[in-house]
Amino acid sequence: MTISTVPAFQRRRGRRSAGLLLAAVLSFSVMGAGTGVAEESQAAREPVRYTEKNPTAVGYGGAVASVDPEATEAGLRVLRAGGNAVDAAVATAAALGVTEPYSAGIGGGGYFVYYDAKTRKVSTIDGRETAPQSIPRDAFLDPATGQPYRFTPELVTSGVSVGVPGTSATW
């Protein structure tokens, strides 16, 4: 995990960030999508980027934490430009969709938990994927037996397991 901080003097005053502290987690996930062989061979030819990770940081005025240094930097830039904790969390999550596309991104869903220091209240937004509105009630029943399908890799990767993304609504 990469944690970085931004000094308070670098943030604009008067924004919601003064009373709102992000105290918890963005756990956005994405439903996997296959890539073609041509794409994989192109990626194999590109140089691997190595970024130094800094697992511990001390500071004041705000912080950003993620599994990727570039995504963390995106959130820090938002704080330095005067954004609040939620603005920085969304920027970090969006960047993770690029730097960690197999585990984060706009095509998935997750939960957003935050702490409002002014009201001392914790709130949660449920942004998990949902079933399509028009899905038939028997979509998970085997027509041959009338019983639920067994949990198989083929079922998981078929169209039956598709959900409507919730990430953009959460953001």
Instruction: Classify the C-alpha dihedral 86-91-92-96 as positive or negative.
Output: positive
Beta strand 29-30 with 63-66 is: unpaired
Task: Evaluate if pTM is beyond 0.75.
Answer: no
- For the stretch 67-99, pLDDT in tens is 999 999 999 999 999 999 999 999 999 999 999
Q: Which tokens in the block code for residue 133? A: 């509105």
Q: Which tokens in the block code for residue 103? A: 């585990």
pLDDT grade for 1, boundaries at 50, 70 and 90: low
* Phi/psi of residue 99, nearest 5 degrees: -80, -25
Q: Which tokens in the block code for residue 11? A: 């943030």
Residue ranges per domain, the chain? 2-129
C-alpha closest to that of 18 among 122, 134, 154, 116:
116
